[in-house]
Structure formats: C-alpha cells, structure tokens
Structure 1
Amino acid sequence: MYKKGCHDNYVGANIKVIRVFFNYLKNDKDFYTGDFQRLFYVRKEEIDIFVLSPEQLKFLIHDKAFETQLLPSEHRIKDIFVFGCTTGLRYSDIFLLTNKNFELQDGEWYLKLKSLKTKTFSYIKLPNYAIAIFQKHQPKSDKTPVFGKISLFNFNKTLKKVGEKAGFTTVIEVSREKQGKTQKITKKTDITQNRFCDKMSSHMMRRTAITTMLILGMPEHLVRKISGHSHSSSSFNRYVHYAQAYMDKEISKVHSKLESY
C-alpha cells in the first residue's frame, strides 16, 4: 500500500480491519490461525485542519459585491455553508432540517434538533443572518427539507468555486505521513490544487464553527455542548489546540507592546 502512494491513515484503517477479521475467526468462529494479528501496528496520522478565519467567514456573510458574482446554485451553496459554519451542524444533519427545527421564542429564533450521528439534542440560538438564510429557503411544507437535496460531490465541487470567487486562493502546504514520517504534498503540475479554496469541503463547516467559537472567546464547555462533543472527545481537543495557536499569536502582540518602554 505504501508503494502505491497510500498514507498512514489509509494503511492503518486497512490493517485494523485485517486484525479485527482474524480476531473474529479466532474468538467467534473457533478457527485458530495463530496470534500474529496481535503484532499488527495500526498507524494513525493527524491530518491538517483547514478552517475559515473569522474575517473570511464575515466576508461570506456580509459582502454584497461578492454575492453579485455568484450563480443562483453557488449562492445556495454559500448560504448552506455559512449556516453550517455558524451552527456547527454536521452535513448530514443540515439536510434533514425542516421548519419544525426552527422555533421562535420571545422574539428570538432557536434551532432545535437531535444529531443523526450522536443522538444528542442541541438547542442553538440563531443570529440574524442565519435567520435570513432560513427564511430565504423556507419551504411551504413542514415535511420538506429547508435546504433541499444535493449530492456531497456537487456540494463540495460548487463550494470550491465559491471559495475561488471569494478570493480564498492563497497557496498552502499540505503534509501527510508515511510510516510515521511527514511528507509535504504538492502538485507542481497544477498549482491550483494547492490553493485554500481547493481544500474547502463540507467538513470545513463544522470545523470552522467550533474553532470560531473558541477563537472569539466562548468557554470550551459551552462549545462542547453546542457541537455535541463529549468531555473526553479527542477530536474536539484538536480544535482547542488550533484555537490556542491563534490565541498565542494574539497575546504575543500584547506582550510585545508591554515589553517596549
């Protein structure tokens, strides 16, 4: 697999399946093949997290000149993406939303739902721009999904075009690991594949929402509650580390001003 260009996560996932299979033969089917599978080492790599900065998210929310450049299909994807970057919902949960998930209480709009993946309940207050997105796409029937239907492939393909029109074209470096060694992944033949906009996908919505909440000062335990992460979630800790790097950078600016006299 390594000779074919595979990386640690893919190789590790396959080794894990093989190990589980031989354990199944031994423990469930009484078919003894030895204990060699116990020696299998499952490698795992930490893949870079790509998220929008608060400034980039605000650009997508508020810039009217940018919106005039978008086709109707791109405008719809932009709206869904912004909604996801605000609420932190998973892609699967967003396209299950109906009018019944939106509730008006004392003049404030709330989003209430049960996660399809974790079965946890969320009750999220919505900002004005998210309410405007809901009302723009609100269907007449309570049984019809608010954002309709679209394949994941077409969503990601269109989102990359939206990112390109937004000017999110900074060239970035991507690192992956093979046998524990970090390698930079670049495609010299096509520089466009190394741009930020080409890394935009449905996964970026939830990651952006969580990281933005942390960066802008929301307490960690509240972000966990909104995003549906358990207290021991290792995946959530990656967002904390990302936000910590941002906070370290900002506090360094403060320190530099204090150190000069």
Structure 2
Amino acid sequence: MSVTASIAYAARTDFKQRYYANNHSRDTVVLDPHDMPIADGRTQDCSLDREGFKLVPHVSRVSDFRDRDQVATVHPDEIVELLLRETGADEVRVTAPGILRFSEKSGLAGTSDNSHPARFVHVDSTADTTRRFAEEAAPKDRTVARYAHYNVWRAFSGAPQDVGLALCDHRSLVEDDLLVADAIFDPPGGAPEWGFESWLLAHNPAHRWTAFPMMTRDEALIFKSSDSQHHNPAPHVAYDNPLAPPDAPPRASLEMRALAFWYA
C-alpha cells in the first residue's frame, strides 16, 4: 500500500551545508520538508543496477544485533557473502563496524556513537569521495574495472517499524538535485573529528520514493551510495510511518557498509 509522508529534503543554500554524526546542534542543514507519496517496494521488482536498491531474504547467525562484539565477529563475513551473491563482484570489503540506530521513541537515539535515525535525505558519500575510498582500498596488483559502495540495512525490532527507511529511485533525479555537503564524524570521548563530502537532496516533485514495510530481522535492504559504472546512488531518509499504530515497537536497525570491486 502506498502512503504519503513528510520527506525532509535540504533547502538550496548559498553555503555548503554540514551535519554531524552525534551533536546535531552543530548541523547547518536547512530542512525543506515536503509530503511525498511512498510506494510499497514489496509490490515492485527492484534492482541494484536500476533503482539502486533491493530487499533480499537474509538470515544471520547473529543472535543479538545489539551485541557489538558478536556483530563484529560474525556479521562482516555474512555481508561479504551476501554482496558477492547479489552483485556478482569479484571482491567485497566491509569498510566500517555495524552502525546501530534507534527511533526517538525508544529513548536510545543518541545514546551511542552515530545512533540517531537519519532525519534528512542524504547519500553517504559523493562519487568523488567513494572514488578516493576505492583507490585507497583496492589491491595494488589488480586492475579495477568497476567499484561500488553498498549499505546493508536491517530492522531487528519487529514489525511494523514506527520510523521506516525511504529510498529515492535514482532514475527520478536530475544532477542538480544533489547538493554537496560535509558529513562530520564527532566521536564521543574527545577523539578527533573527521569527515568527507556527501550529498543532500533538494526537493523535486518528480522524485519517486519507495519503502519496504513490515521488515523482519531475516531481511536485508541493500542500497548504493556510489557505483562507477551505473552512477545510481540511492538517496534515503528516515520517515515517520503513518501506518504504524501508536504501540508499534520503536525501530532498532543495523547498517553495514562495504566496497565491492570488479577486476579487469
């Protein structure tokens, strides 16, 4: 069933906007929300090389996704296996620890590093940023014909999710919709800040939005930040699910990020 929900776009500004993983009081993103229709992705045949996202069955051996040690020990190999199967890449490298995020209703949003839901539309890294990451990570003795950066996202709190994840079909974008911004990581405990360029998304009424309602812990939503061949990153955003009842469990989710390589 399609729904209409508020999508938090970024306004076009005369300055480069920035946002922080933890201290959002320092964000300079100017929000420009618009009500947009969101299609039910379960009624579509989505493709990573077309729309830029796809929902797949995926049963993990992780028994508790809140257990960071268990996730770090078990889950990266599962993500590598999944992405090799779904993309046909020659090699996949997980690039970061699992990112746990919680809806505000849980009381856990913001209680750990980068644990707020992503409340404005973004793409995790620009094409230039991903190219730099790929050049740094690629083996020196191989010729890379193609690379892509993937996110693997799952909700493990039970259905329906009070705060869902909506994705924009890249084919409905025009290049000018993507706004370069700075994503700043400000780790708790006083560790040095670091960052890179990402994209925000300006509103365009032609955008086509999709979400996958009623996700279970045995499903994974794969979507792209960048692809050197297909150039179809999937902007995404957390949104309040209008179909979720007041007693819906607060959303808890885990995100893994990985680079895939195809060799000549």
Give the TM-score category using the shorter length: under 0.3
More helix as a share of residues: 1
What is the TM-score normalised by the length of structure 1? 0.23
Which of these two proteins has the greater Rg computed from alpha carbons?
1
Q: Identify which of structures 1 and 2 has the higher relative contact order when contacts are C-alpha pairs closer than 8 Å and 6+ apart.
A: 2
More strand as a share of residues: 2
What is the TM-score normalised by the length of structure 2? 0.23
